[in-house]
């Protein structure tokens, strides 16, 4: 490409900010700095040079109930963002996850001069499959992070590429389990990593269950130590709860320390979420426990069509990780499974092997996902015709096709 392309990025939540920052870094590396950025992002993208058009905290709102009081402001920001894009005329607009915000923008840009790309496919394989056809009406290309997602979109005419999941991409952190154990005087004791979630609602529901589970385990295994990685959004609640737990809990707040804690851990107990994949890829045997309100559970049972909420189980198409949901989210059942993993090295190794298998499916072994995404995006810009398939990028591992109609 002759001139440095302008790429307009939109990341409206914390996880998208991380993806956006990695993508920006890879785009700069692939073009040797011949690329320009504009858009919306958080602190990670700011560190890569983005001057966000909107204060990030205004859009980092989760949940239907929570967003209602802010709806007017969010819609105003949507209009302002669309106006800015039309004024700047970027080569590509890349929205990242957060479909409720992202698709409002992309839909209004259909027919304009910019390539319209979305990064992280909506989970049409789990619920609301009609969304695939809906977004195919206005998007030019979709960057998928799960290997089985492509057919859902290709069959409705939306070109898509599997680029890999960010969970296999380390951010300059070399996990040091031995160092973590030394710093906290753990020695050779078994270490249980407890992850009660990052949202206030789930933390309040799960902490009492996890606390009683821990009490049972420590009573049976007095040498058991605990580490509790937590997020800034809930650190107060978590700190107050774990102060009453046995097992001398270690509270971890930074992402870097969380990686070290994973490397040091024998077994983990976690809430549902992306952390499940983080544990699997890190080789930590674990179990999942989760509960929501009765109404949410009922709606979920009706709408969500997946055999498991654990992505490792979905990827491998077999039950590897135990999950304790809703009525089965009980300390006695959870403690029995965690105890089995603590006591059985063969069971732990089976989970580690499964985690390694899942990591390959998610893109480990080839170029980093952000590099794959950058290469696909640059090829699309180079061709200028979003419906024309550029040459596929060699994956070095997982399938990395760029397909078109």
Q: Is 248 left (phi over 0), alpha (psi -120 to 50) or beta?
A: left
Q: Reduce the DSSP state of residue 187 to 3 states and report it.
A: coil
Is residue 189 situated within a structural domain? yes
Q: What is the pLDDT of residue 90?
A: 97
Is residue 214 situated within a structural domain? yes
Q: What is the pLDDT of residue 296?
A: 60
Residues 139, 59, single domain; the answer is yes
62-111 tens-digit pLDDT: 433 334 444 666 778 889 999 999 999 999 999 999 898 899 999 999 99
Residues 337, 377, single domain; the answer is no
pTM of the model as a whole: 0.86
Is residue 1 situated within a structural domain? no
Mean pLDDT, rounded, for 205-226: 97
Residues 326, 307, single domain; the answer is yes
Domains in the chain, number: 2
The DSSP secondary structure of 41-100, one letter per residue, reads --HHHHHTT---SS-GGGT---SHHHHGGGHHHHHHHHHHHHHHHHHH--SEEEEES-HH
Per-residue pLDDT for 60 more than 60? no
Residues 274, 313, single domain; the answer is yes
116-160 tens-digit pLDDT: 999 999 999 888 889 999 999 999 999 999 999 999 999 999 999
What is the chain's mean pLDDT, rounded? 88
Per-residue pLDDT for 58 more than 80? no
Residues 189, 274, single domain; the answer is yes
Residue 374's pLDDT band, with cuts at 50, 70 and 90, is very high
Which residue range forms the structural domain that includes residue 316? 177-361
Q: What is the pLDDT of residue 200?
A: 86
Is residue 246 situated within a structural domain? yes
| 7 close to 89: Cβ distance less than 8 angstroms | no
Q: What percent of the chain has pLDDT over 70?
A: 86
260-290 tens-digit pLDDT: 999 999 999 999 988 999 999 999 999 999 9
Mean pLDDT, rounded, for 153-171: 93
Q: What is the pLDDT of residue 344?
A: 98
Is residue 390 situated within a structural domain? no
Distance CA 13, CA 141 (A): 21
Distance CA 79, CA 75 (A): 6
Residues 275, 370, single domain; the answer is no
Q: Does 171 or 118 have the greater pLDDT score? A: 118
Distance CA 91, CA 114 (A): 5
CB-based burial label for 224 (10 Å; 0-12, 13-18, 19+): buried
Q: What is the pLDDT of residue 199?
A: 83
Mean pLDDT, rounded, for 187-212: 94
Q: What is the pLDDT of residue 62?
A: 41
Q: What is the pLDDT of residue 71?
A: 60
Number of Cα atoms under 13 Å in the Cβ half of residue 39 = 32
Mean pLDDT, rounded, for 163-182: 91
280-333 tens-digit pLDDT: 999 999 999 998 766 665 555 656 678 898 999 999 999 999 999 999 999 999
Number of Cα atoms under 13 Å in the Cβ half of residue 6 = 12
Residue 201's pLDDT band, with cuts at 50, 70 and 90, is confident
Residues 267, 319, single domain; the answer is yes
Residues 296, 379, single domain; the answer is no
């Amino acid at each position: 490409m002759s001139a440095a392309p302008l790429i307009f990025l939109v990341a409206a939540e914390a996880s998208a900010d991380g993806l956006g920052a990695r993508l920006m870094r890879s785009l700069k590396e692939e073009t040797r700095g011949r690329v320009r950025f504009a858009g919306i992002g958080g602190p990670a993208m700011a560190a890569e040079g983005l001057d966000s058009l909107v204060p990030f905290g205004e859009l980092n709102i989760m949940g239907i109930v929570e967003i209602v009081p802010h709806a007017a402001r969010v819609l105003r920001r949507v209009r302002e963002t669309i106006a800015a894009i039309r004024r700047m005329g970027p080569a590509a607009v890349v929205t990242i996850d957060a479909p409720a915000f992202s698709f409002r923008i992309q839909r209004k840009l259909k027919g304009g001069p910019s390539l319209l790309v979305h990064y992280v496919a909506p989970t049409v394989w789990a619920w609301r499959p009609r969304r695939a056809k809906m977004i195919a009406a206005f998007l030019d290309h979709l960057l998928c992070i799960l290997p089985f997602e492509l057919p859902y979109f290709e069959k409705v005419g939306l070109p898509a590429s599997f680029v890999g999941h960010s969970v296999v991409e380390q951010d300059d952190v070399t996990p040091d389990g031995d160092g973590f154990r030394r710093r906290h005087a753990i020695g050779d004791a078994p270490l249980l990593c407890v992850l009660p979630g990052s949202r206030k609602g789930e933390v309040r529901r799960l902490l009492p269950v996890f606390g009683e589970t821990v009490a049972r385990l420590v009573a049976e295994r007095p040498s058991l130590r605990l580490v509790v990685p937590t997020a800034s959004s809930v650190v107060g609640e978590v700190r107050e709860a774990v102060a009453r737990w046995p097992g001398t809990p270690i509270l971890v707040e930074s992402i870097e320390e969380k990686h070290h804690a994973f490397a040091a851990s024998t077994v983990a107990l976690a809430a549902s979420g992306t952390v499940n994949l983080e544990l699997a890829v890190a080789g930590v045997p674990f179990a999942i426990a989760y509960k929501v309100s009765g109404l949410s559970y009922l709606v979920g049972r009706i709408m969500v069509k997946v055999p498991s909420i654990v992505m490792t189980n979905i990827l491998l198409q077999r039950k590897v990780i135990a999950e304790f949901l809703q009525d089965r989210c009980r300390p006695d059942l959870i403690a029995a499974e965690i105890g089995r993993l603590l006591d059985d090295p063969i069971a732990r190794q089976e989970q580690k092997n499964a985690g390694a298998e899942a990591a390959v499916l998610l893109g480990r072994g080839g170029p980093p996902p952000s590099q794959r995404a950058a290469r696909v995006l640059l090829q699309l810009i180079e061709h200028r015709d979003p419906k024309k398939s550029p040459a596929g990028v060699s994956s070095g591992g997982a399938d990395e096709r760029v397909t078109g109609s």
